[in-house]
Structure 1
Amino acid sequence: MQRLVAVTALGMCRALATGAISPAAACHRLFGPALLTRLNQMNACPSLRHAIHMATELEDVADLIPDKLASAIADVEAELLKALADLAPSDLAGEKWLVRAP
């Protein structure tokens, strides 16, 4: 589940960076306190929690210091990639992310 969150968040960062979605929309749909709370409850990977915490501030960055938004998004992406590396299993063969657990 953590890998799915990281990959989804990377996609949201790309959408933000290209202007396909606004920082407000990203923060209301994915990068909000609910996701961060859930990750904390799961005791998720520290780098993933840190990345999502940084992402929850992107709307504020866009509003207060818009010239720093691109670098803030890049920082979130870098932390998400670190999280993926930390979470990467040695063998992904046969792993499915979007199926119900038995």
Structure 2
Amino acid sequence: MRLFGLKTCDTCRKALKSLPDAEFVDVRADGVPSDVMDRALARFDAALVNTRSTTWRGLSEAERGRPSAELLAEHPTLMKRPLIEADGELYLGWDAKTRAALGVS
């Protein structure tokens, strides 16, 4: 299991604490492997972009209109977090649905 996020993100820290066996991958330092990103974009598309982030608010309207793949390649911190890869399946965010799917209460 791999958890993609930011080490400064509170939600990622909560998820990592609940998933102690997960390998943490810092998207700012290490990025997301292209195969994982391609699968995540195919599954979540625009939902993968965190439109509530500080980075998003700093983008111009023209930049915001670019495809999700381009935005995330240029600004990895724009990715909604955490992105969790477990048993070939991808989960986005740390909500009750994700926790239930991963068997975490």
Q: Common fold, TM-score beyond 0.5?
A: no
Between structure 1 and structure 2, the one with the greater Rg is 1
Q: Which has the higher helix share?
A: 1
Relative to the length of structure 2, the TM-score reads 0.31
Relative to the length of structure 1, the TM-score reads 0.32
Which structure is higher in RCO with an 8 Å CA cutoff and minimum separation 6?
1
